[in-house]
Amino acid sequence: MIPFDIGLDLFPMLAAVFASVSCGLLGNFLVLRRLSLMGDAISHSVLPGLVVAFLLTQARSPWVMFAGAAAAGVATVVLVELVKRLGRVEPGAAMGVVFSVLFALGVLLIEQAAVRHIDLDADCVLHGQLETLAWYGAPAAWDGVFAWETFQAMPRQVIVLAVTCAATIGFVAVLFKELRIAAFDAGLASSQGFNANFLHYALMVFVASATVASFEAVGSILVIAMLVCPAATARLLTDRLRSQIVWSVVLAVLSGVGGYLAATAVPAAFGKDSVNAAGSIALMAGALLVLAIVASPSHGLVTRLIRQRSLSRRIALDDLLAAMYRRDEASDGKPSALVVPSQVHRRSWNRAMAHAVRRGLIAADRRSLTDTGRVEAAALVRKHRLWEHYLVERVGLPADHVHETAELLEHLRPSPADGPATDPHGRVIP
Amino acid sequence: MWLLGLVQQENTGTHGPTSITNVTDEWPGWAQVFETLTLRAGFNTNTVIVGTTLLGLAAGVIGVFMLLRKRSLMTDALSHATLPGIGMAFLGATAMGLDGRSLPVLLLGAAVTGVLGVLCIQAILRLTRLREDAAIGIVLSVFFGAGVVVLSYIQANAAAGAAGLNKFIYGQTAAMSVGDAALMGGIAAAAILVTLLFLKEFSLACFNDAFARVDGWPVTVLDLMMMALVVLVTVAGLQAVGLLLVVAMLIIPSVSARFWTERLWLLLVVAGVIGALSGYLGSVVSALLPRKPAGSVIVLTSGAVFVVSLVLAPSRGVLASVSRRLKMRLRIAGDHLVEAAYERETRDAERGVLLDAEIARLAKVRGWSVWFRPLAIGLLRWRGDLDAAKHGMRLTESGRARGARVSRNHALWEQYLVTYADIAPSHVDWSVDQVEHVLSEPLIAELEQSLERRGAPVSPAADRGKNGVRRDNGRAGGVV
């Protein structure tokens, strides 16, 4: 049984879900625009923003910190853009330079702060402190839920996250059309009259604020995971942006809830203390991605394998039927040996033979076509010879070069109703 | 309880002075600085300094290949992916009854998961339609998440506690023993040696992998070797600079060096020097001053070098390109001005027309800003093309010659575009404007001849004799 305590677990989980959803939503556009690592860069360089804001004001007011971090986030985007443009540096390297320098600055500043007896814990920035978001004023009964006192007792970080999440949903919903065009074709977006550059920065501002809001509760590592993983997973599940977004939200919620429960439940099953929830959520998002890579119905490995298998089976069967038809045609009905083409594997040949017999296309003695088999084989050979005809007449290939190409094209589905009577080699088209 | 629950106010005692008044760093005396700089500050410090310098050198050199292969950020994923390896090596070694904190064991674990992370990136790229940035982000965050989980597990459950494992995240030269530093220096030296041995092969694979493949080189193996070197450097740097910043040692020196040179061997030398220098300075500073983590100082040093390179580098630097662009704009503006003036004089059939109205009109049409206009005019006057008479600006003899030449280029191009490029006469002027400044002398001569041969109208013969293009060694030829 999973241990779940409303007071202890509800809000950490809610925080994780809100953070995951806002990052997951924005991640869709980052992944499409190949900016996934911008989230990484921003969440690294938020550190100096926090420290500078704190050192400047000496206040731990949330708004000061928020402003400092958001400013650092936007500054990162601008700096990366500057380095890229002014220095003509490759985007990846530009990002690496900017965020590592800013991060180093942050670490150094933290150490400086420590000189003044202020211990800023840099680890916390990485892992977050989900577990500390306990709801001490948890109501005993449901009628207490809506009282003001209950609300006040809620951890403030969760409320910040909820607001951020709502704002992000609003942003994506209102600017969906624009974001979609800009994600796929920034040039088109600009020519349609809205500023792709502005959209880029608006998106980055939202990424920065989602990062900052999530930071305190869930840590930067979860932010990075959530900006990339759900969107990447969703991208493997669907080809439409709308459903990709829906999927990414579903996946974000799943990894948030699942990862949080796993962090407490799995170690508890072995009688150990619970592990870091943020890390576990990131792991869960990774696990979902692996699952999608393997088992996605449209792009998964399994599907692709099955599709490939069935295609190669169909082609083997086609080749077998056509070969039999050609043998009959050449020998004028007299029985003669069927030659296995050298490029065909004997096992797949046998398998195709068994398949054909089962479907009643080839007689049980495996030596001649049945009537249905002959009709099907004739259709195939017809397609082959029509293609040859087309390649010679229309494409202008020499007649002795077209067989291989036709051999590939004959497996395509459509079959024209009328055409010439003979192929370039003078054989009759069935 | 804000953000920095982070901020735990009272920092009791583990490090630092206890008196409230004593809040500044202790600055070392000059003698001490000199001693440390010249490696006379004792064996322990020296080992660390030499080790870090070697590490910087190795990272700088290998980073060049990563930059050329466009793999800069893959190294970031790699370094993040070492964290679970460290934790698991600790757990494994403890379970087997070994010392969980023995550095070689931890580094081995780090290397294993680091390589695994890189392989995962390759697998994602090959098996799915996700792009490289997403693959890197996925591996980076999921592996690091796994590392955080393992560390928190150790913290909560392992008997010995995870004390000391955290130092791999941010790095801590102060905690390094002589043995650790020697191990780091040794790995770095080995990496440098291998790089030097395979310099030719690596450069080939970096610049043209298709050619290298065709030429029979095992590019995949070479790629793997480069990656292995990166793993070595990353792992070696874990303790000194930490896994979050080791990527900077690989990226920044090569990116900075790229500003200064276009030649590979020079690139390697410059990147190596920048890396070694920042490694050296970083470790010296952190040895001298308390609370200056070597990792940060190293990264900030190379960051400073990067900024200097970005601004000052001779041809790729910002200053250079700004001045180049300004020169170009000024030259073009000057051309426009003398051309307009010359055409005005021709139209009015009178020399020495006052040009102020013409200049004002031109400034408006061309959109010259308030500061740009005096600059352009100043340049023309300095070159003696324009003369400030009592009542206003006037064209000098050389300015007139130049104006004639520009005007003639303009006409030639217009003619060319209409005749050969099939552009409608009403459309040529715009494009002519763009190209008349790019004409080279031989091209002009050729154009002129071919147009004459075909009997196409060329500009007035008088111009050609007097202001022949050949005479003026092509100041108008210019930037191609």
Residues 290-349 of B with CB under 8 A from A: 290-293, 295-300, 303, 306, 310, 316, 318, 321
Helix axes B74-95, B219-241, angle to 10 degrees: 70
- CB atoms near residue B318 (< 10 Å): 18
Better-scored residue on pLDDT, A114 or A30: A30
Residues 6+ apart with CB under 8 A from A174: none
Closest in A87, A120, A276 to B152, CB measured: A276
Residue at A279 is within a domain: no
| B180 and B43 within one domain | yes
| A350 and A214 within one domain | no
- Of the candidates B263, B281, B314, which is a domain's last residue? B314
Identify the pLDDT of residue A59: 66
Burial B214-245 (b: 16+ CB within 10 A, else e): eeebebeebbebbbebbbbbbbbbbbbbbbbb
Taking the CA of residue A171 and the nearest CA in chain B, the distance in Å comes to 23
Q: Nearest 5 degrees, angle CA B329-CA B330-CA B332?
A: 65
Task: Choose the mutation target among A115, A121, A227, A284 for the interface with B, i.e. most B CBs under 10 Å.
Answer: A115
Residue at B480 is within a domain: no
A11 contacts in B (CB within 8 Å)?
none
Looking up residue A375, the CATH number of its domain turns out to be: 1.10.10.10
Q: Do A229 and B142 touch (CB under 8 A)?
A: yes
Q: Do B133 and A293 touch (CB under 8 A)?
A: no
Chain A residue with the nearest C-alpha to that of B12: A117
Residue-wise pLDDT for A341-354, tens only, equals 666 777 888 888 88
Residue at A97 is within a domain: yes
A237 contacts in B (CB within 8 Å)?
none
| A214 and A312 within one domain | no
Mean local confidence (pLDDT), A181-198: 82
| B127 and B74 within one domain | yes
Residues 6+ apart with CB under 8 A from A196: A182, A186, A187, A189, A190
Taking the CA of residue A160 and the nearest CA in chain B, the distance in Å comes to 12
Taking the CA of residue A116 and the nearest CA in chain B, the distance in Å comes to 6
- Of the candidates B298, B314, B330, which is a domain's last residue? B314
Q: Are B338 and B399 in contact (CB under 8 A)?
A: yes
Task: Choose the mutation target among A136, A275, A301 for the interface with B, i.e. most B CBs under 10 Å.
Answer: A275
Q: Does B11 touch chain A (CB under 8 A)?
A: yes
Q: Do B156 and A61 touch (CB under 8 A)?
A: no
- Of the candidates A209, A231, A253, which is a domain's last residue? A231
Better-scored residue on pLDDT, B33 or A262: A262
| A226 and A87 within one domain | yes
Q: How many domains does chain A have?
A: 2
| A115 and A196 within one domain | yes
| B239 and B363 within one domain | no
Taking the CA of residue A93 and the nearest CA in chain B, the distance in Å comes to 5
Residues 400-439 of B with CB under 8 A from A: none
Taking the CA of residue B410 and the nearest CA in chain A, the distance in Å comes to 32
What was the ipTM of the complex prediction? 0.84
Residue A225 reports pLDDT greater than 50: yes
Taking the CA of residue B458 and the nearest CA in chain A, the distance in Å comes to 40
Taking the CA of residue A262 and the nearest CA in chain B, the distance in Å comes to 11
B121 contacts in A (CB within 8 Å)?
none
A256 contacts in B (CB within 8 Å)?
none
Taking the CA of residue B3 and the nearest CA in chain A, the distance in Å comes to 5
Residues 241-260 of B with CB under 8 A from A: 244-245, 247-248, 251-252, 254-255, 258-259
Identify the pLDDT of residue B438: 63
Chain B residue with the nearest C-alpha to that of A156: B2
Identify the pLDDT of residue B158: 65
Identify the pLDDT of residue B7: 40
Q: Are B249 and B279 in contact (CB under 8 A)?
A: yes
Residue A230 reports pLDDT greater than 90: yes
Q: Do A227 and B137 touch (CB under 8 A)?
A: yes
Q: How many domains does chain B have?
A: 2
| B349 and B247 within one domain | no
Q: Do B310 and A87 touch (CB under 8 A)?
A: yes
Identify the pLDDT of residue A250: 95
Residue at A276 is within a domain: no
Taking the CA of residue B241 and the nearest CA in chain A, the distance in Å comes to 10
- Distance from C-alpha of A201 to C-alpha of A191, rounded to nearest angstrom: 18
Residue at A265 is within a domain: no
Task: Choose the mutation target among B15, B132, B138 for the interface with A, i.e. most A CBs under 10 Å.
Answer: B138
- Of the candidates A206, A231, A256, which is a domain's last residue? A231
Looking up residue A171, the CATH number of its domain turns out to be: 1.10.3470.10
Closest in A231, A274, A279 to B148, CB measured: A279
Confidence (pTM): 0.80
Identify the pLDDT of residue A249: 94
Identify the pLDDT of residue B157: 73
Closest in B7, B130, B306 to A119, CB measured: B7
| B81 and B47 within one domain | yes
Q: Tell me which of A105-109, A254-258, A405-409, B453-457 is least confident.
A: B453-457
Residues 114-133 of B with CB under 8 A from A: 124, 127-133
Residue-wise pLDDT for A68-104, tens only, equals 888 888 888 889 988 988 888 888 889 889 988 998 8
Note down the domain range covering B271.
31-314
Residue A419 reports pLDDT greater than 70: yes
Q: Tell me which of A39-53, A147-161, A206-220, B217-231 is least confident.
A: A147-161
Identify the pLDDT of residue A213: 81
Helices in A194-298 by DSSP H: which ranges? 196-237, 241-269, 277-295
Task: Choose the mutation target among A119, A152, A235, A294 for the interface with B, i.e. most B CBs under 10 Å.
Answer: A119
Q: Does B462 touch chain A (CB under 8 A)?
A: no
**Which residue from B343, B383, B346 is spatially nearest to B362, judged by alpha carbons?**
B343
- Distance from C-alpha of A244 to C-alpha of A247, rounded to nearest angstrom: 5
B169 contacts in A (CB within 8 Å)?
123, 126
Residue at B477 is within a domain: no
Residue at B82 is within a domain: yes
- Of the candidates A178, A200, A231, which is a domain's last residue? A231
Residue at A390 is within a domain: yes
Note down the domain range covering A218.
6-231
Closest in A37, A118, A282 to B73, CB measured: A37
Q: Do B140 and A40 touch (CB under 8 A)?
A: yes
| A153 and A69 within one domain | yes
B141 contacts in A (CB within 8 Å)?
40, 221-222, 224-225, 228-229, 282, 285-286
Taking the CA of residue A286 and the nearest CA in chain B, the distance in Å comes to 6
**Which residue bears the tokens 């001053």?**
B289
Residue at A281 is within a domain: no
Question: Which pair of structure tokens corresponds to residue B406?
Answer: 């520009």
Residues 6+ apart with CB under 8 A from B212: B201, B204, B205, B219, B222
Identify the pLDDT of residue A377: 87
- Taking CA atoms, B310 is separated from A59, B14, B258, B316, in Å, by 36, 41, 10, 8
| B468 and B376 within one domain | yes
Residue at A197 is within a domain: yes
Q: Assign A131 a pLDDT band (cuts: 50, 70, 90).
A: low
Residue at A114 is within a domain: yes
- Distance from C-alpha of A380 to C-alpha of A411, rounded to nearest angstrom: 8
Looking up residue B444, the CATH number of its domain turns out to be: 1.10.10.10
| B178 and B203 within one domain | yes
- Of the candidates B287, B314, B341, which is a domain's last residue? B314
| A159 and A29 within one domain | yes
A100 contacts in B (CB within 8 Å)?
244-245, 247-248, 251-252, 299, 303
Residues 60-89 of B with CB under 8 A from A: 67, 70-73, 76
Identify the pLDDT of residue B17: 36
| A86 and A185 within one domain | yes
| B255 and B117 within one domain | yes
- CB atoms near residue B19 (< 10 Å): 7
Q: Do A236 and B148 touch (CB under 8 A)?
A: no
| A207 and A63 within one domain | yes
**Which residue from A253, A197, A309 is spatially nearest to A22, judged by alpha carbons?**
A253
- Taking CA atoms, A28 is separated from A22, A39, A169, A344, in Å, by 11, 12, 12, 45
Q: Do B7 and A276 touch (CB under 8 A)?
A: no
Task: Choose the mutation target among B133, B140, B172, B286 for the interface with A, i.e. most A CBs under 10 Å.
Answer: B133
Identify the pLDDT of residue A395: 84
Q: Does B159 touch chain A (CB under 8 A)?
A: no
| B329 and B304 within one domain | no
B321 contacts in A (CB within 8 Å)?
86
- Distance from C-alpha of A39 to C-alpha of A104, rounded to nearest angstrom: 17
| A211 and A316 within one domain | no
Identify the pLDDT of residue B205: 87
Residues 129-158 of B with CB under 8 A from A: 129-134, 136-138, 140-142, 144-153, 156-157
Q: Assign A404 a pLDDT band (cuts: 50, 70, 90).
A: confident
**Which residue from A351, A352, A341 is spatially nearest to A317, judged by alpha carbons?**
A352
| B127 and B106 within one domain | yes
Looking up residue B309, the CATH number of its domain turns out to be: 1.10.3470.10
| B286 and B240 within one domain | yes
Helices in B43-131 by DSSP H: which ranges? 43-68, 74-95, 103-127
Which parts of chain B have pLDDT scores under 50?
1-23, 457-480
| B185 and B112 within one domain | yes
B11 contacts in A (CB within 8 Å)?
114, 117-119
